[in-house]
Chain A
Amino acid sequence: MMQINNRHLIWRYLGLGLLALLILGPFILGVWTSLLPTAEIAKGALIGGPVSLANYGAAVHQTAILRYLLNSLVIATLTTIAQVLLCSLGAYAFVFLTFKGREALFYVILATMMLPFEAEVIPNFATARQFNLLNHYAILVLPFLTSAFGIFMLRQAFRQIPGELKEAADIEGLNPWQFYWHVVLPYARISLVTLAAYSFLGSWNQYLWPMLTTFSDRFRPVQDGLRQLQSQETFNNWGMIQASAVIVVLPTLIVLFVGQHFFKTGLNQGATKS
């Protein structure tokens, strides 16, 4: 009996190990090659050569990778703060205020979720050019100050707040801002953190829009920075490119693992409740 169990266990762990390898393979390869001299990589000698952090030094000193990271950090932070604020204010209006056209307006917001930003880049680019916003942080933040998805998600969360709280607040004479700030936001904090994580990752991962609207390293965010490195003369400098990719992926991986608890609750809410 025991033996059979052990054998089963071996197979199970073997299966898990293979799946883990499938997921981790590209990471491992990326990290490994980032430690090799480019000349060795070009020769196809992936094993047995000298290992060093030289590529990281080269990436930091010869490219604008740190500037790209800083740009993305600025853009993603601004976007996140704005989205959490504006989406929660909007969601508040849909849950706690009664006004004419509330339902209709909510459907308008829902409809917005259906429109892909990718199909709207032509007029948005024209708008950016017209207002002289090209190649600046502003144009990477302004279109994403709010999000229909965020309003929708927080509306669901705010609806879970017991009606008695609102009644009590009305009796206490709290104005809407006080109720929003002191009761609603603390009550829905997990949803707010979830939205913040989405907003941050969403902004961090932007690719097409920054590619169209930024032309200099001063404002270029990290995804397009990698594109820049990969398409420039450094193209065949595989060691340095891999090192840059690793530098870029590390912060998000850390954020992901630290914030995983929140992600899971948020995702499951999105997937099962709505």
Chain B
Amino acid sequence: MEMTHKPFPSPTKAKSVAKERPRGFNGHRHDKYVAAAFLGPSLVVLGIFVFYPMLKTLYLSLFLTNNVGRPTVFVGLKNYGTLLASSAYRASFQATLIYVFSVVVLTLTVGVLLAQAAVQKLAGIRWFRTIFSATMGVSVSVAAIFWLFIFSPSVGLLDQLAASLHLPVINWLTTPGWAMVAIIVSTVWMNLGFTFLILFGALQMVPTTLYDAAAVEGASPRYQFLHVTLPMISPTLFFTATVTLIGAFKSFGLIDLMTAGGPNNATNLMVYQVYRDAFLTGNYGQASAESMILAVVIAGLTWVQFKFLEKRVTYE
């Protein structure tokens, strides 16, 4: 009866599973076939597009490569050595660290500010909550275009403001330090919607009785924030920090659109460097070594995040 009823999209698998599966208890006997059918597609995709390329990247990072990316001469760790000795790569790494650190600190600070403002019980507060989450709907190229206009030379808003106030005009995107500021500001703005939503959710879950108790004790708002709010949302803050951190290490689109790594390589962050070395100059071996360094950094950060979440689960 069940066999005529073909519930599977692929009939061959459906029949065999339906036929062989014992009814009632002891339902685990043929689980491995079902598991293969259910998990197989995902494993194939992950295998081809995640595991294989990771191993291949590691492999390529140990070779010199020709102009189409085929390995030619095995050089061991020499590509890594070259990178470590290269002042350009060290500068790229350092720029990435500055960028990532600033983005995380600013995103969290402004995010907490927004969330704290949005938990107030005021008429019309829903509108502000909606507005604060708005940049979650903004993609990287839209953000880049909006901010390019603000920062762009002469027609840009900032330069026009500066000119009308008789302040010195800054060439934002063509001055190394200011270009970094520009991409940091743009990234933070883009991050705020997501960060706000998560932190706001966490703030809403802090039991109001805690604040009532603190208020009875005569605690100032500042004290309440530092000793009630922050400890209560610290797990969420940590989660948000790691998500932002990992995202910042992977930044590419904003840099590509706003500065193309310039001026003078000031905003040439890690992923951009990989792109340049692999797809613009065809130095695949070295780009693979750069990819491996990037992968290790991100894997390490993700691992820390997992460990932390795991610990919290066992505590709860």
- Name the contact of A122 in the complex, choosing from B60, B128, B298 (C-beta under 8 A): B60
- Name the contact of A272 in the complex, choosing from B31, B41, B197, B205 (C-beta under 8 A): B205
With A113-B302, A123-B60 known as contacts, the answer to whether A42 contacts B45 (CB < 8 A) is no
What string of 1s and 0s marks CB contacts (under 8 Å) between A158-173 and chain B? 0000000000001101
B34 at the interface (CB under 8 A from A): yes
User: Which residues between 10 and 65 of chain B lie within 8 Å of chain A, taking CB atoms?
Assistant: 14, 17-18, 21, 23-25, 27-28, 31-32, 34-35, 38-39, 41-43, 45-46, 48-54, 56-57, 60
Closest residue of chain A to B5 (Cβ to Cβ) is A178
Taking the nearest CB of chain B, how far is it from the CB of A255, in angstroms? Answer: 7
With A89-B42, A267-B201, A272-B202 known as contacts, the answer to whether A99 contacts B122 (CB < 8 A) is no
Q: Considering the chains assembled together, what is the distance between the CA atoms of A22 and B38 in angstroms?
A: 47
Instruction: Let me know if B120 and A226 touch, CB within 8 A.
Output: no
Instruction: Let me know if B45 and A86 touch, CB within 8 A.
Output: yes
Q: Considering the chains assembled together, what is the distance between the CA atoms of A248 and B142 in angstroms?
A: 7
Instruction: Let me know if B18 and A90 touch, CB within 8 A.
Output: no
Q: Considering the chains assembled together, what is the distance between the CA atoms of A205 and B302 in angstroms?
A: 22
Instruction: Let me know if A181 and B7 touch, CB within 8 A.
Output: yes
Q: A-contacting residues of B (Cβ < 8 Å)?
A: 2, 7-8, 14, 17-18, 21, 23-25, 27-28, 31-32, 34-35, 38-39, 41-43, 45-46, 48-54, 56-57, 60, 69, 110, 113-114, 117, 120, 122, 125, 128, 130-150, 154-155, 157, 160, 163, 189, 192-194, 197-198, 201-202, 205, 235-236, 239-240, 246, 249-250, 252-253, 256-257, 271, 274-275, 278-279, 284, 287-288, 291-292, 294-295, 298-299, 302-303, 306, 309, 312-313
With A143-B45, A256-B133 known as contacts, the answer to whether A223 contacts B198 (CB < 8 A) is no
Q: Considering the chains assembled together, what is the distance between the CA atoms of A256 and B137 in angstroms?
A: 6
Q: Considering the chains assembled together, what is the distance between the CA atoms of A7 and B117 in angstroms?
A: 17
Chain A residues contacting B138 (CB-CB under 8 Å) are 249, 252-253
Q: B-contacting residues of A (Cβ < 8 Å)?
A: 9, 12-13, 15-16, 19-20, 22-24, 26-27, 29-30, 33, 41-42, 44, 46, 86-87, 89-90, 92-94, 97-100, 102, 105, 109-110, 112-127, 142-143, 145-146, 148, 151, 170-171, 173, 175-178, 180-181, 204-205, 207-208, 211-212, 222-224, 226-227, 230, 238, 241-242, 244-245, 248-249, 252-253, 255-257, 260, 263-264, 267-268, 271-272, 274
Closest residue of chain A to B201 (Cβ to Cβ) is A268
Chain B residues contacting A30 (CB-CB under 8 Å) are 142, 145-146, 149
Instruction: Let me know if B252 and A208 touch, CB within 8 A.
Output: yes
With A24-B131, A176-B34 known as contacts, the answer to whether A122 contacts B253 (CB < 8 A) is no
Instruction: Let me know if A97 and B146 touch, CB within 8 A.
Output: no
Instruction: Let me know if B34 and A223 touch, CB within 8 A.
Output: no
Chain A residues contacting B306 (CB-CB under 8 Å) are 110
Q: Which of A115, A122, A173 neighbours the largest number of chain B CB atoms within 10 Å of its CB?
A: A122
Chain B residues contacting A26 (CB-CB under 8 Å) are 143, 146-147, 150, 189
Closest residue of chain B to A224 (Cβ to Cβ) is B141
* 19 contacting pairs across A/B (C-beta < 8 A): A9-B122, A12-B120, A23-B135, A26-B147, A27-B134, A30-B142, A90-B42, A99-B35, A105-B43, A112-B51, A116-B295, A119-B298, A142-B45, A171-B24, A177-B17, A208-B271, A223-B253, A242-B145, A249-B139
Chain B residues contacting A272 (CB-CB under 8 Å) are 201-202, 205, 235-236
Taking the nearest CB of chain A, how far is it from the CB of B200, in angstroms? Answer: 8
The 9 A-B pairs at the shortest CB distance, nearest first, are namely A123-B53, A120-B53, A256-B137, A123-B56, A207-B253, A226-B141, A143-B49, A119-B295, A119-B291
Chain A residues contacting B60 (CB-CB under 8 Å) are 122-123
With A89-B38, A99-B31, A207-B253 known as contacts, the answer to whether A223 contacts B140 (CB < 8 A) is yes
Chain B residues contacting A271 (CB-CB under 8 Å) are 198, 201-202, 236, 239-240
Q: Considering the chains assembled together, what is the distance between the CA atoms of A145 and B48 in angstroms?
A: 11
Q: Considering the chains assembled together, what is the distance between the CA atoms of A206 and B197 in angstroms?
A: 22
- Name the contact of B46 in the complex, choosing from A109, A116, A125 (C-beta under 8 A): A109
Q: Which of A19, A181, A263 neighbours the largest number of chain B CB atoms within 10 Å of its CB?
A: A19
